[in-house]
């Protein structure tokens, strides 16, 4: 049992777990997470999509094995931290005691001890009788490194596992309001840039509920808009039909977007039933039309498949952009289709992000203590001094020798 416990808290076991967590995180970065099944089928093929789904690689940050690795790694780091803290606490005390009982490294002539003390004062050593010490906090560097890794791992995992995710669509020129009152407006959307290269991008404007904070940015798949705890991604896109409905009696008009089959009616009896929008058509020799369903070439020659319903009688009609159907006092003018973006909106807890940033700050501080805050103790007596430190103190020795040589050159005592 003792050997098992020793292995669980060992650095070797911790490194194995860390590598496995990194490999899982890399897979989660390369493979889109949380998409619909057909997205993986189109991207990887049916067999690979089933394999990815079975292995949990399409939602790896919620997979049982990833959570188990996180728990084991956290346990390893906790054990390492707990065991290192008392060792670190005793280390500086032991260094002081070792310095107090050490033989002098360098003998001093009469009056030279004060020059040594002056050098130590300039280097911000703290005095405790004949003992001078500096960077006592450096002994906690290794402990704090382990603690910072634990904090980063714990809160980084929570950030990955607990975001609030919603997929929304918004038409160019329109806005959507989130639960907290934040307003997202789609200013524009395009599939191709000015050179004709595919470039799925939306220009969004985000406004705080009180309107005091506004941010505008063009987003792409890997370039989200970050705003007040939200990350808004360009997730997908679609094409919607458009129809302008006008009342000839009072001149009122409205433009509606057609994204799914619907009945456009004022009285619930007469109107237009929209069935589908097709990207193109072929006209046969007899004048009939064959509708194209593939959208691979875009909506080059769009055509609307609708039914005109008057007094309960329905007639199927193919309508082209710019054409109008008149039903009673209402006219339905079908317009060119509009492309719109599909947005993925993630909301992350600012508390979790704050704790994660604290972990990174703690890591920087811990590394500074490890590499630049080496504990040093110096015992200064009238007949000599002794220096003890875990690392070489060549710089301090040179400063002390220079001070003593300068005193000798002056030819006198202080």
pLDDT at 358: 94
**Residue 43 in domain:** no
Please give the average per-residue pLDDT across 3-21, as a whole number: 79
**Residue 320 in domain:** yes
pLDDT at 411: 52
**Residue 66 in domain:** no
The residues near 342 (Cβ < 8 Å, ≥ 6 apart) are 167, 168, 169, 235, 236, 237, 238
pLDDT at 132: 93
The CA distance from 400 to 113, in Å, is 10
Please give the average per-residue pLDDT across 304-322, as a whole number: 91
**Residue 51 in domain:** no
**Residue 147 in domain:** no
* Same domain for 114 and 247: no
* Same domain for 288 and 234: no
How does pLDDT run across 15-67, given as a tens digit for each residue?
888 888 888 888 887 888 777 777 787 778 888 888 888 888 888 888 888 88
pLDDT at 187: 94
* Same domain for 349 and 202: yes
**Residue 292 in domain:** yes
* Same domain for 348 and 230: yes
The dihedral region occupied by 198, where left means phi > 0, alpha psi between -120 and 50, and beta the remainder, is beta
| Statement: residue 414 has pLDDT above 50 | no
| Statement: residue 400 has pLDDT above 80 | yes
Least confident window among 67-71, 140-144, 283-287, 346-350? 283-287
Say what percent of the chain tops pLDDT 70.
97
The residues near 148 (Cβ < 8 Å, ≥ 6 apart) are 359, 360, 362, 363, 365, 366
Beta bridge partners of 384: 107, 381
| Statement: residue 333 has pLDDT above 70 | yes
* Same domain for 248 and 227: no
CATH of the domain at 268: 2.60.200
pLDDT at 409: 52
* Same domain for 225 and 356: yes
| Statement: residue 357 has pLDDT above 70 | yes
| Mean pLDDT, all residues of the chain | 86
* Same domain for 252 and 322: yes
CB 340 within 8 Å of CB 186: yes
* Same domain for 314 and 244: yes
**Residue 74 in domain:** no
pLDDT at 66: 87
The dihedral region occupied by 98, where left means phi > 0, alpha psi between -120 and 50, and beta the remainder, is alpha
| Statement: residue 413 has pLDDT above 50 | no
How does pLDDT run across 197-248, given as a tens digit for each residue?
878 899 999 999 988 899 999 998 778 999 988 989 988 888 999 999 998 8
Least confident window among 135-144, 257-266, 267-276, 398-407? 398-407
CATH of the domain at 400: 3.30.310
* Same domain for 332 and 246: yes
Say what percent of the chain tops pLDDT 90.
35
* Same domain for 398 and 276: no
Which range marks the domain in which residue 172 is found? 164-238+343-360
CB 281 within 8 Å of CB 291: yes
Nearest to 71 by CA among 158, 148, 145: 158
Please give the average per-residue pLDDT across 84-102, as a whole number: 86
pLDDT band, residue 306 (cuts 50/70/90): very high
| Statement: residue 321 has pLDDT above 90 | yes
pLDDT at 188: 92
Please give the average per-residue pLDDT across 307-313, as a whole number: 89
Strands 376-381 and 131-134 turn out to be antiparallel
**Residue 96 in domain:** no
**Number of domains observed in the structure of the chain:** 3
pLDDT at 211: 86
* Same domain for 355 and 224: yes
CB 343 within 8 Å of CB 235: yes
| Statement: residue 410 has pLDDT above 60 | no
Which backbone phi and psi does 407 adopt, to 5 degrees?
-65, -40
* Same domain for 348 and 204: yes
pLDDT at 308: 93
pLDDT at 408: 57
Radius of gyration (C-alpha) of the chain in whole angstroms: 36
Cα dist from 203 to 220, 299, 340, 342, whole Å = 9, 22, 11, 12
The CA distance from 297 to 291, in Å, is 14
pLDDT band, residue 362 (cuts 50/70/90): very high
């Amino acid at each position: 049992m003792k050997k098992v416990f020793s292995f669980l808290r060992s650095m070797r076991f911790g490194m194995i777990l860390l590598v496995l967590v990194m490999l899982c995180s890399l897979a989660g970065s390369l493979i889109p997470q949380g998409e619909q099944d057909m997205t993986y089928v189109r991207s990887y093929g049916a067999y690979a999509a089933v394999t990815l789904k079975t292995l949990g690689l399409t939602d790896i940050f919620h997979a049982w094995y990833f959570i188990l690795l996180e728990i084991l790694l956290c346990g390893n780091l906790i054990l390492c931290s707990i065991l290192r803290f008392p060792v670190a606490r005793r280390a500086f005390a032991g260094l002081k005691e070792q310095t107090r009982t050490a033989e002098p490294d360098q003998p001093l002539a009469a009056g030279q001890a004060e020059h040594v003390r002056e050098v130590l004062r300039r280097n911000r050593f703290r005095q405790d009788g004949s003992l001078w010490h500096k960077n006592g906090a450096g002994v906690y560097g290794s402990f704090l490194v382990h603690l910072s890794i634990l904090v980063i791992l714990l809160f980084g995992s929570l950030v990955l596992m607990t975001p609030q995710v919603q997929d929304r669509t918004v038409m160019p020129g329109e806005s959507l309001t989130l639960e907290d009152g934040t307003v997202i407006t789609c200013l524009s959307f395009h599939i191709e840039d000015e050179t004709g290269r595919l470039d799925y991008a939306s220009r969004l404007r985000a406004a705080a509920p009180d309107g005091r904070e506004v941010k505008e940015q063009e987003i792409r798949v890997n370039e989200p808009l970050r705003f007040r705890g939200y990350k808004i991604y360009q997730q997908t896109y679609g094409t919607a039909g458009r129809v302008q409905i006008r009342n000839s009696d009072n001149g009122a008009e409205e433009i509606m977007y057609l994204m799914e089959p619907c009945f456009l009616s004022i009285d619930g009896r007469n109107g237009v039933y929209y069935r589908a929008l097709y990207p193109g058509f072929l006209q046969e020799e007899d004048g009939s039309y064959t509708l194209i369903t593939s959208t691979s070439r875009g909506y080059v020659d769009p055509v609307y498949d609708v039914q005109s319903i008057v007094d309960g009688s329905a007639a199927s009609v193919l309508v082209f952009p710019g054409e109008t159907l008149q039903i009673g006092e209402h006219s339905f003018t079908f317009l060119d289709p509009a492309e719109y973006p599909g947005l993925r909106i993630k909301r992350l807890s600012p508390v979790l992000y704050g704790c994660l940033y604290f972990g990174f700050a703690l890591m920087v501080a811990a590394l500074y203590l490890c590499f630049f805050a080496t504990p040093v103790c110096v015992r200064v007596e009238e007949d000599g001094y002794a220096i003890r430190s875990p690392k070489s103190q060549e710089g301090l020795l040179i400063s002390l020798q220079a001070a003593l040589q300068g005193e000798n050159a002056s030819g006198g005592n202080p």
